[in-house]
Amino acid sequence: MIPYARQWISSADIDAVVDVLNSPWLTQGPVVQAFEKALCAQSGAAHCVAMNNATAALHIACLAVGVGPGDLVLTVPNTFVASANAAVYCGGTVDFVDINPRTLCMDADALEEKLASLAAKGKPVKAVIPVHFAGLSCDMAAIARVAKSYGCAIIEDASHAIGGLYQNAPIGNCTHSDITVFSFHPVKIITTGEGGALLTNNGDLFERARRLANHGLIRNADDFAVRDQPEWFGEWAYQQVDLGYNYRITDFQCALGLNQLNSLKSWINRRNQLAAVYRGAFVDLDVECQRVPDSYLSAYHLFIVQLSPAANRRRVFNLLRQNGIGVNVHYIPVHTQPFYQARGFYLGQFPVAEAYYRRTLSLPLYPKLTEEEQQQVISQFIAVLRQCSV
């Protein structure tokens, strides 16, 4: 089976991990800091906290911007459940904004409508979480203009998108947001096994995120909340000032991530090359690919193809799987999940995301995919579509 996504681990990656395993620091050592510094350099953001996964980073991001019990947070239905769950972890309430039918990312006009209708009902929105679907940035300038006019914090879920560009600048630079989150799960662009990171240009958000990801502890005596108990001071001292979590990542994971970053640029180029070949091969078919606006570079976490509305997606999916092509579907709209249906959401509520979902397939795309394998995917895809249209 040719999978839809796959990591690429080199012998240099393995050596880097082994070096850390032979060092005194397995966790909270120098390699975590080196990885965080490298992520800042790559994205252009001022601060970074690496964490054990992107779900944790989204949770901490929501807490850092102040999402608390009863607060309203908006994201899109076309995402992994973690984008929405992060707000629920904080006691917040999630609502959704439909996607743009061409870019498949949060639609800025739909966001404006949603914020206006919520404001009319006297419901302020604490934070907006746009998702850079399949590696393509949302129109962040437009989203930020709308979100800021309603006083919302902005958290970019860039789990798919490290290495991509928006307006010719790296995704993750936080020019149009408070915080950006990356994922380093093996199916994503670079991996640390499990892993994620939070990036921000805001020093206060950074300090809060750093603290919340490590039990809510302060170790720097200058920052201590309580200072009048001499017995409680000394080299050993720490103070817990918040209810934090243990969302730390290990040094050996960061050694992997740090070395993976060396390949980021060439992998994004390779993903874009492969995507261009798919697009070229499909121009005469009755299918639709994601629109990439000018001045955007998709990181191409996924290659998305929407079948004709008349096609039987289930049949196409099953036949491709039977023929060794590991297609997948991204995403079942989050508001249709039983957990969210039980919270009042219903089918028909976000028609663009739902119509998209019924037609979509993710084709194999990863840097190690060979030309021969890709040709196999293309010929099988074309053959199966023909078979399904007779």
> What gap in Å lies between CA 171 and CA 260, rounded to an integer?
17
> What gap in Å lies between CA 315 and CA 292, rounded to an integer?
28
Q: Which residues of 297-306 are buried (b: 16+ CB within 10 A; e: fewer)?
A: bbbbbbbbbb
Binding mask of the shown chain, residues 295 to 314, with x at each position contacting ligand PLP by CB under 6 A: --------------------
> Which CB sits closer to ligand PLP, 185 or 313?
185
Based on the shown chain and the rule CB under 6 A, indicate whether residue 357 belongs to the binding site for ligand PLP: no
Q: Where does 97-232 show beta strands of DSSP type E? A: 125-129, 153-157, 165-166, 169-170, 179-183, 196-200, 217-218
Residue 80 Cβ vs ligand PLP, minimum distance, rounded to whole Å: 4
40 contacts: CB under 8 Å, gap ≥ 6: 46, 47, 48, 199
Residue 76 Cβ vs ligand PLP, minimum distance, rounded to whole Å: 9
Pick from 48, 131, 275, 311: which binds ligand PLP (CB under 6 A)? 131
Pick from 7, 43, 53, 306: which binds ligand PLP (CB under 6 A)? 53
Stretch that binds ligand PLP, among 12-20, 50-58, 106-114, 122-130 (CB under 6 A): 50-58
Neighbours of 270 (CB within 10 A): 18
Could you say which residues in the range 138-197 bind ligand PLP, by CB under 6 A? 157, 159-160, 183, 185, 196
Q: Which long-range contacts (CB under 8 A, 24 or more apart) does 232-236 make?
A: none
Stretch that binds ligand PLP, among 34-42, 78-86, 109-117, 215-223 (CB under 6 A): 78-86
Based on the shown chain and the rule CB under 6 A, indicate whether residue 55 belongs to the binding site for ligand PLP: yes
Residue 133 Cβ vs ligand PLP, minimum distance, rounded to whole Å: 7
Vertex 281, ends 278 and 287: CA angle to 5°?
80
Residue 57 Cβ vs ligand PLP, minimum distance, rounded to whole Å: 8
Pick from 42, 83, 137, 306: which binds ligand PLP (CB under 6 A)? 83
Based on the shown chain and the rule CB under 6 A, indicate whether residue 79 belongs to the binding site for ligand PLP: yes
In contact, 57 and 51? CB cutoff 8 Å: yes
Q: Which two tokens stand for residue 81?
A: 């459940």
Stretch that binds ligand PLP, among 48-56, 121-129, 203-211, 321-329 (CB under 6 A): 48-56
Number of residues that bind ligand PLP (CB under 6 A): 14
> 250 forms bridges with which residues in the sheet?
27
Q: Indicate the helix (H) or strand (E) that contains 255.
A: helix 251-261
Among 67, 33, 66, 62, CA closest to 50: 33
Pick from 4, 35, 80, 166: which binds ligand PLP (CB under 6 A)? 80
> What gap in Å lies between CA 103 and CA 256, rounded to an integer?
32
Q: Which residues of 350-389 are buried (b: 16+ CB within 10 A; e: fewer)?
A: bebbbebbebbbbbbbbbebeeebbebbbebbeebbeebe
Residue 52 Cβ vs ligand PLP, minimum distance, rounded to whole Å: 8
Based on the shown chain and the rule CB under 6 A, indicate whether residue 7 belongs to the binding site for ligand PLP: no
Residue 156 Cβ vs ligand PLP, minimum distance, rounded to whole Å: 10
Based on the shown chain and the rule CB under 6 A, indicate whether residue 78 belongs to the binding site for ligand PLP: no
Using CB under 6 A as the criterion, which residues of the chain lie in contact with ligand PLP when the complex forms? 53-55, 79-80, 82-83, 131, 157, 159-160, 183, 185, 196
